[in-house]
A and B are shown apart, each in its own frame.
Chain A
Amino acid sequence: MKSARLPRFIFSPAASLPVAILLILARLFRSLIGQFWPVLILLLLRRRSANSSQMWVWVGIGITIISVVRSLLTYFRTRFYVQNNEFILEKGGFTRRRLSVPLENIQTITFQQTFLHRIFNVVSVEIDTSGAKGSEISINALDREKAGELREYLLSWKKENPSSAAAQEKTPTVKTPEDTLLQLDFGDLLRIGLSQNHLRSAGILFGVLASFAREIQPILGKSTYKYLEEEWGLTFNFFWTFALWIGVFFLAGFRCGYHDPHGGTLLQFALRAHG
């Protein structure tokens, strides 16, 4: 072996963060909805008879119970540690998986926070190798400090073991927290949006949504719209749909620019890990 054996390094989220259960559940539901949304829309739109709607309630309850059980299992079975220069992640709900990545293959370490994560001050950590398109390792909810600790550990390992030329090239330089690599103001974001065609996607989405709103009007019935108009002062027209999407985009923008005690945004983490 080319490097000194480092002490076994164990994190077990199960011991510390019950919040993770909630987040795992949230992710599970998100992916379920992501996969079955056409079915859900069909169910919502079709004319319901008392008999079948009761059946769907039971199906819903069943899915919920299975999801909760799976989340609990995932939560109690997730643990990760570094052993023999390998990062090992044990995971899995019903099927147990054990992933091992050689430390020298690790390329980027990304922290992400959704709205839910921010409420509980946890991060989801994604560790990428140069392999497949998605992230190989993703840990759903980790205490902010522990995540930082893990990152420092992995980065320092990389520093101590510049084993091959390639690895040396990739060895990231850890900046001091005050050192901002890159700062983007709103004008920059808008320009990036323009150049990345995000605005075009937004336009397409907006068009789809507007036409969808018009399509579902006869299904929801005039009364729904009237209710919204009278009670909330909302008119479901062009203008409001557009405003909604502008709002969504502002939120998305904020998400990119969240601040970390270690100093930096998501983009900076990526840049830093790349070196």
Chain B
Amino acid sequence: MLFENQQIATAALPSVETVQFQTLPPQALKLRTIGWCITQGFIFLVLIGVMLFGEVFKQKWPWIIVFGIWGLQAIYFFWMARRRFYREGYAVREKDIIHTKGYWLRTQLTVPYNRVQHVEIEQGPLARAFGLGGISVYTAGDSGGDLSISGIEYAEAERIKQFIAQKVGNDE
């Protein structure tokens, strides 16, 4: 048999059917806001501690700049959390699962089920209070490129896991 390897005109490929992404539940935004509060509060406390006991600057005015920078980044991340939240979504399809996220840099990660090695469900202490959880799907590649959705309903994560497990079991 002759070896053939013809080039595909990518522009001529039929366009993909539009995927309807599911958004995250609104509690997830609350959860992220709480997370933001904790992180920023921690940074604030450390800064206060350094200011009171650290003896870094002789004068008072450099601290105004330091706290100004702190305030700016806090506002920026607060705003970003919202933008990111509204851009995030996922879609569970027959043969793969897609996760899209990011505001400045938008990524869309697709994992076909027949490449799945194992699935992990996680739930932090705060997320438990909201009934939220996360799901991570690990593939046979590098550990970096794995799909991980956090901030979906725990029951939903459970359902997706169940579905993927059944798919992995069947399509051998």
The answer, yes or no, to whether B143 is at the interface (CB within 8 Å) is yes
CB atoms of B124 and A132 under 8 A apart: no
The 8 Å CB contact of B172, one of A84, A129, A164, is A164
The 8 Å CB contact of A129, one of B117, B141, B142, is B117
Known interface pairs A101-B117, A105-B117; A132-B143 also in contact (CB < 8 Å) = yes
Stretch at the interface among A6-14, A36-44, A92-100, A226-234: A92-100
- Per the 8 Å Cβ criterion, residues 49-105 of A in contact with B are 52, 55, 84-86, 92, 94-102, 104-105
Number of interface residues of A (CB under 8 A): 28
CB atoms of A94 and B118 under 8 A apart: no
* Nearest CB in chain A to that of B172: its residue: A164
Interface string of B115-142 (1 = CB under 8 A from A): 0011111111100100000000011111
For residue A89, give the distance in angstroms from its CB to the closest CB of chain B: 9
Chain B residues with CB under 8 A of A253 = none
Chain A residues with CB under 8 A of B142 = 132-133
The answer, yes or no, to whether A136 is at the interface (CB within 8 Å) is yes
Chain B residues with CB under 8 A of A85 = 169
Number of interface residues of B (CB under 8 A): 23
Chain A residues with CB under 8 A of B117 = 101, 105, 129-132, 136
What is the predominant secondary structure among interface residues of chain B facing chain A?
Answer: mixed
CB atoms of A99 and B118 under 8 A apart: yes
A-B CB contacts (within 8 Å), total count: 70
CB atoms of B138 and A92 under 8 A apart: no
Chain B residues with CB under 8 A of A193 = none
For residue A207, give the distance in angstroms from its CB to the closest CB of chain B: 33
The answer, yes or no, to whether B32 is at the interface (CB within 8 Å) is no
The 8 Å CB contact of B125, one of A2, A84, A86, A94, is A94
For residue A55, give the distance in angstroms from its CB to the closest CB of chain B: 8
CB atoms of A98 and B172 under 8 A apart: no
* Nearest CB in chain A to that of B144: its residue: A132
Interface string of A117-133 (1 = CB under 8 A from B): 00000000000011111
CB atoms of B143 and A98 under 8 A apart: no
The answer, yes or no, to whether B165 is at the interface (CB within 8 Å) is yes
Known interface pairs A84-B165, A100-B118; A131-B139 also in contact (CB < 8 Å) = yes
CB atoms of B165 and A100 under 8 A apart: yes
Chain B residues with CB under 8 A of A99 = 118-120
Known interface pairs A85-B169, A102-B168, A131-B140; A96-B122 also in contact (CB < 8 Å) = yes
* 16 chain-A/chain-B pairs, Cβ below 8 angstroms: A55-B53, A84-B165, A84-B169, A92-B122, A95-B122, A95-B124, A97-B121, A98-B121, A100-B165, A102-B118, A129-B118, A131-B117, A131-B118, A131-B138, A131-B139, A163-B172
Besides A86-B165, A95-B125, 6 more A-B contacts (Cβ < 8 Å) are A55-B53, A95-B122, A96-B128, A97-B120, A130-B117, A131-B118
